[in-house]
Chains A and B, each alone.
Chain A
């Protein structure tokens, strides 16, 4: 595992893969988002869970990141990580599953698992490789399983969260979603290392950009439910798609929840800075 000094000397995409728990590798890249005149970084992360006989990719990363994700995956497989046999995506929004078609194409032994709504409409050529999961269903990776669990924070009704029974890692998709400060070197750090992170600020940014409903609902009841889920599953690490991974659940989760509740009280402001660009690389 890279130490923090090594990490900061590298570009964000070169700081991965990072092993956040034994056999659980964080891969992907940051996404810069313009908001209120600033540029915030967020993740659209993917994670590879490696068992003794098989690996499962959780999320596929943002569509723009597929070359990076594929590079990270192949680096892990070259190191002897078991082959990719399963793909689990939390839900159908494209920052979570935009690479799905290319994962299934490039890894022909892999099957897609979870709530597989819509994917037969987007990628009909792979419908025969899609398998439904219900809550509590598990994917056997050899020595550990990936289980579909209650999605406490979600937007689409078809969301499942994932849970690695080996290292007790929770994959909460849109839960624990917050931006981070590129300028402060947060890219590639876990939450506990990003000491200057202002969680109410960065949680509010994500609520504006992606979780509209959290500006209206009573987030106290959702935070209480989160606590119950974490307790019931014995969660030791949290691997969110958009936030930084949480390795000290007891210390950090209350801060994130405080940020979520604070963000809910701030008026929603939306996105939308008018800029005309040619191509994706401009700006």
Chain B
């Protein structure tokens, strides 16, 4: 059977000025499937006071004979994401899944549905026993589908191959994380998939744009990053020893030529200058949190910075 991943690639829009849906980050190789969420105080990944819109990002890596989906999105978007994938890969193409955060709906909510719908080759995870972690009752036969799904555990420093051509994707343990989290680096497109880090850019409008490029007048400041980090899941950072965390992140940026940062939610950061600026701002923030210059204290639940 002849398989093609390019059948509907023309429908993907150019990233410049992109407002949601399928964004081609590298034609025939990498697509972002971006679906909007309203920020109204009801999204745990954003500060309680954040208002406006963001997107959840799933990513589809395509090869002529295989594809891989990174993160599966929220249940509300299941029909849309399923249709987006169907636009980009031929029916029956072997599809692998790699949810980067094992304990969060945004990453794993649709594993069960997609396992029952697509020709799933395998599911990569950080935990070898993870299949039933995805059983949310979406389908009556979901448990059986998940039990029969091949699960491949990856270590904290691993490389997986996509397709017969062996497209190399490096796997790493996230250097800062809430819980079991993996980052990926796609050598072909020089893209770093950073899961819940570099998620700090959101928009006032549902129309985005959802990709920050070098052509934009990107106003994000270190102060914005500080506020975002301390008002979300990294509320605990101020006054702790951040040197090992900085070193872990820095090692990744030293080792890899990162042209695009592809976070699990929020705007994608595209272009070497944009990547360098946001990395530097994050690093400066972490440096300013270090116990050598800040004091560790009890942080209450509803404190906002």
Chain A nearest Cβ from B20, distance in angstroms: 16
Q: Are A209 and B180 in contact (CB under 8 A)?
A: yes
Whose C-beta in chain A lies nearest to the C-beta of B45? A118
Q: Does chain B have a CB within 8 A of A275?
A: yes
Q: Does chain B have a CB within 8 A of A63?
A: yes
Q: Does chain A have a CB within 8 A of B164?
A: no
A264-281 with Cβ < 8 A to chain B: 270-281
Q: Are A280 and B129 in contact (CB under 8 A)?
A: yes
Q: Does chain A have a CB within 8 A of B154?
A: yes
Contact of A275 among B153, B177, B297 (CB under 8 A): B153
Q: Does chain B have a CB within 8 A of A131?
A: no
Chain B nearest Cβ from A170, distance in angstroms: 16
Q: Does chain A have a CB within 8 A of B118?
A: no
How many B residues touch the partner, as a band? 35 or more
Docked pose: A9 CA to B178 CA in angstroms: 37
Contact of A66 among B41, B48, B137 (CB under 8 A): B137
Q: Does chain B have a CB within 8 A of A105?
A: yes
Q: Are B104 and A94 in contact (CB under 8 A)?
A: yes
Chain B nearest Cβ from A197, distance in angstroms: 23
Scan A154-177; emit 1 where CB is below 8 A from any B CB, else 0. 111111100000000000000000
Docked pose: A281 CA to B149 CA in angstroms: 11
| Chain A residues, CB < 8 A from B108 | 94
| Chain B residues, CB < 8 A from A278 | 148, 150-151
Q: Does chain B have a CB within 8 A of A250?
A: no
Q: Does chain A have a CB within 8 A of B53?
A: no
Scan B12-41; emit 1 where CB is below 8 A from any A CB, else 0. 000000000000000000000000010001
Contact of B301 among A105, A154, A217, A274 (CB under 8 A): A154
Q: Does chain A have a CB within 8 A of B135?
A: yes
Whose C-beta in chain A lies nearest to the C-beta of B37? A121
Q: Does chain A have a CB within 8 A of B189?
A: no
Whose C-beta in chain A lies nearest to the C-beta of B157? A272
Q: Are A280 and B75 in contact (CB under 8 A)?
A: no
Whose C-beta in chain B lies nearest to the C-beta of A103? B137
Q: Does chain B have a CB within 8 A of A123?
A: yes
Docked pose: A83 CA to B169 CA in angstroms: 51
Q: Are A118 and B301 in contact (CB under 8 A)?
A: no
Docked pose: A117 CA to B37 CA in angstroms: 12
Question: Which of A94, A150, A221, A276 has the most chain B CB within a 10 Å cutoff?
Answer: A94
Q: Are B233 and A277 in contact (CB under 8 A)?
A: no
Scan B133-144; emit 1 where CB is below 8 A from any A CB, else 0. 111111000000
Scan B96-138; emit 1 where CB is below 8 A from any A CB, else 0. 0000000111101100000000000000001111111111111
B140-170 with Cβ < 8 A to chain A: 146-156, 158
Known contacts A151-B301, A216-B241; decide if A64 and B132 are in contact (CB<8 Å): yes
Known contacts A120-B42, A225-B298; decide if A157 and B232 are in contact (CB<8 Å): yes
Chain B nearest Cβ from A279, distance in angstroms: 4
Scan B281-305; emit 1 where CB is below 8 A from any A CB, else 0. 0000000000000001110111000
| Chain A residues, CB < 8 A from B179 | 93, 155, 209-212
Whose C-beta in chain B lies nearest to the C-beta of A32? B129
Q: Are B133 and A94 in contact (CB under 8 A)?
A: yes
Docked pose: A64 CA to B112 CA in angstroms: 12
Q: Are B177 and A92 in contact (CB under 8 A)?
A: no
Question: Which of A32, A160, A273 has the most chain B CB within a 10 Å cutoff?
Answer: A273
Provide 20 A-B residue pairs closer than 8 Å at the C-beta atoms, listed in order of the A residue.
Answer: A64-B132, A93-B179, A94-B104, A99-B137, A122-B74, A155-B179, A156-B44, A156-B233, A160-B301, A211-B179, A212-B176, A216-B236, A216-B240, A221-B296, A270-B156, A270-B173, A273-B128, A275-B128, A276-B152, A277-B153
In the complex, given contacts A91-B44, A122-B109, what are 13 additional A-B residue pairs having Cβ atoms less than 8 angstroms apart? A33-B127, A93-B179, A94-B136, A98-B133, A99-B136, A122-B74, A135-B302, A217-B296, A270-B156, A272-B173, A277-B151, A280-B129, A280-B132
Which 7 A-B pairs give the minimum distances between C-beta atoms? A280-B131, A64-B132, A216-B240, A275-B128, A122-B105, A121-B74, A102-B137
